[in-house]
Amino acid sequence: MQSNSVQRTGQILAAIHDAGDEGRRIFTRVYGDAALSTARAADERAKNGISLSALDGRVVSVKDLYDIAGEPTTAGSAVLRSAPPAKEDAVIVQRLRAAGAVIVGKTNMTEFAFSGIGINPHYGTPGNAHDATRIPGGSSSGAGVAVARGMSEISIGSDTGGSVRIPSAFNGITGFKPTQSRVPRDGAFPLSFSLDSVGPLARNVLDCAQADAIMSGRRWNALAPREVRGLRIGIPRGLLFTQTEQAVQSAFERVIDELSRSGCRISDMQLDEWCGAPFKLQEKGTLIAAEAAYIHADTLARQPDAIDPFVLARIKRGETMPAPHYVGLQRAREQLRQSLDARIADLDLLMLPTVALIAPHIDSVANPDAFNTANMLVLRNTSVFNFYDLPAMSLPINVGAAAMPVGLMVVARRNCDLDLLAMARRSRHRCRR
């Protein structure tokens, strides 16, 4: 455990307060007194040589779709401000508290977690940590900005189509999406039953790994040492590299060149059959939209005008999906998952840019057409790996202090989460050179 949790918690609370209105756009709730009390208890344990876990005394925020007992879970929506208070903490919150983590607050998000941009008209839009005129990325918008600005040591987000990895890439931090079944979602407001996953955002891979161990209910063991030399890395050239901005492409190629010089076995792969399938299969309706329409049926019937119009339009598309199409999507998804598993069985990792572009300016996505175009491109690369339920991380690439952040996405085989974390920790050193 890091020493002096009270001091670090106080500094974080001061940073949130000093940010004024921007702090209120990053956090929807701040638990100042409770956080300091938890931090004092952690410091007292440390004095007596006691540690509850690797996260004992670490300052953690949670996305505003996880239940906290005694208060409504708003999920970024004005509709849910008057929802009944949660009866108990979400399972991951219970596990974090039991591990001694200091829960500092709830972070803002896209309404109902339904976009990769990070806009929220109800609670405000947090500005990107590197340029407040640019989008933070979503849907875990406040989570990414909080870590990047030093307002949280670890943030817990959710990832249905990229909602942990996108804000990580745009804000220059690390984000981990596990295999879906790894972390329980009890007490998390859902977007898609089929695709939702729970993951951390932090400044480094180790913090993500330790948070993942707590949330997944596993004993923490140090990540196994992995040599970069000899790693078998596939680059899925093709569809997922189209429309990539030059700054992103150049940063990515520099990392790949460095890994190649370090002895990685890197090969370009033609995976468009699989990378393109999620989009072709869902041209007439997506799994997310169909499941969101079910989840929000009552709100759609009673007060649709209270929902962000950009989010509402996406949810309503799910109302018209025929049941045979939904069932066919699910069956096709399972068949494709098995065939992709076989195709990448001999690889350690896939690597590609997390997002094809740097964070655009907030005012450039103000109209529906521009928003939808940007949202589709922002989500494109990340969403593929939710469809196939493969664990994935976004690692920050060193592009210099003056440039906007770029993310490197590393993807492993299903249920190889610990291997991914271990390999990512080694690979990240190459990203930072």
Which residues are catalytically annotated? 63, 139, 163
**Pairwise CA distance, residues 274 & 338, whole Å:** 11
| Contacting residues for 207 by C-beta, under 8 A, at least 6 apart | 58, 153, 154, 174, 200
Nearest to 399 by CA among 257, 263, 249: 249
In the chain the first and final C-alpha atoms are separated, in Å, by 28
**Pairwise CA distance, residues 234 & 321, whole Å:** 35
Q: How far is CA 268 from CA 240, 256, 395, in A?
A: 13, 11, 20
- Give the SS3 label for residue 155: strand
**Pairwise CA distance, residues 24 & 26, whole Å:** 5
**Pairwise CA distance, residues 157 & 65, whole Å:** 9
Residue type for position 359: A
Q: Are the C-beta atoms of residues 112 and 12 closer than 8 Å to each other?
A: no
Nearest to 295 by CA among 119, 137, 115, 114: 114
Q: Which residue has the tokens 């089929």?
A: 194
**Pairwise CA distance, residues 94 & 425, whole Å:** 27
Q: Which residue has the tokens 């969101």?
A: 292
Q: How far is CA 327 from CA 47, 252, 281, 340, 359, in A?
A: 57, 38, 12, 20, 36
**Pairwise CA distance, residues 204 & 98, whole Å:** 23
Strands 265-268 and 349-353, how do they pair? Answer: unpaired
Cα pseudo-dihedral 360, 196, 391, 62, rounded to 10: 70
Q: Are the C-beta atoms of residues 117 and 138 closer than 8 Å to each other?
A: yes
Q: Are the C-beta atoms of residues 154 and 60 closer than 8 Å to each other?
A: yes
DSSP string for residues in 47-82: HTT--SSTTTT-EEEEETTB--TTS---TT-SGGGG
Distance of alpha carbon 256 from the chain centroid: 23
